[in-house]
């Protein structure tokens, strides 16, 4: 069977999750809401229906692990994007200063020249 033959499945945060998987479960991360977790019986929820993790086939468990890995990677990338946005904002502020007040921008670029006495 080719990949195109599989139906598309969309996981939605808050509706479909793999919470309840503790660190003793392979490829699991701590659940986001510990109050909803029964550590003795970890479950996943798909389309509003709960399934015991222990009852899943090995391919299904591998898919759960892949989902967890993709969630972690997405979280990491969101954090990287946030850092890049901070840098971009700083660059925009520098550009604005360079365009609106080139002398002040130049002093910021060469702070040691700003401390030297004027030769005139």
Please give the radius of gyration of the chain, using alpha carbons only, rounded to the nearest integer: 26
Domain ranges of the chain: 7-111
Please calculate the CA angle 59-32-8 and round it to the nearest 5 degrees: 40
Burial (0-12, 13-18, 19+ Cβ within 10 Å), 43? buried
Query: Would the pLDDT of 31 be above 60?
Result: no
Go through the chain and tell me how many residues it has. Answer: 120
pLDDT of residue 106: 93
Q: Which of 40, 42, 21 is nearest to 31 (CA)?
A: 21
pLDDT of residue 4: 45
pTM of the predicted model as reported, rounded to 2 decimal places: 0.53
Mean pLDDT of the chain: 76
Query: Would the pLDDT of 12 be above 50?
Result: no
pLDDT digits (tens, 9 = 90+) for 15-25: 355 554 543 44
């Amino acid at each position: 069977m080719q990949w195109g033959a599989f139906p598309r499945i969309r996981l939605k945060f808050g509706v479909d999750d793999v919470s309840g998987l503790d660190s003793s479960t392979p490829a699991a991360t701590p659940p986001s809401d510990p109050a909803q977790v029964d550590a003795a019986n970890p479950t996943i929820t798909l389309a509003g229906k709960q399934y015991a993790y222990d009852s899943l086939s090995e391919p299904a468990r591998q898919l759960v692990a892949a989902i967890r890995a993709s969630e972690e990677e997405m979280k990491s990338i969101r954090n990287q994007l946030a850092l890049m946005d901070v840098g971009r904002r700083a660059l925009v502020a520098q550009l604005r200063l360079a365009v609106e007040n080139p002398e002040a921008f130049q002093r910021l670029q060469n702070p040691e020249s700003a401390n030297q006495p004027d030769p005139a």
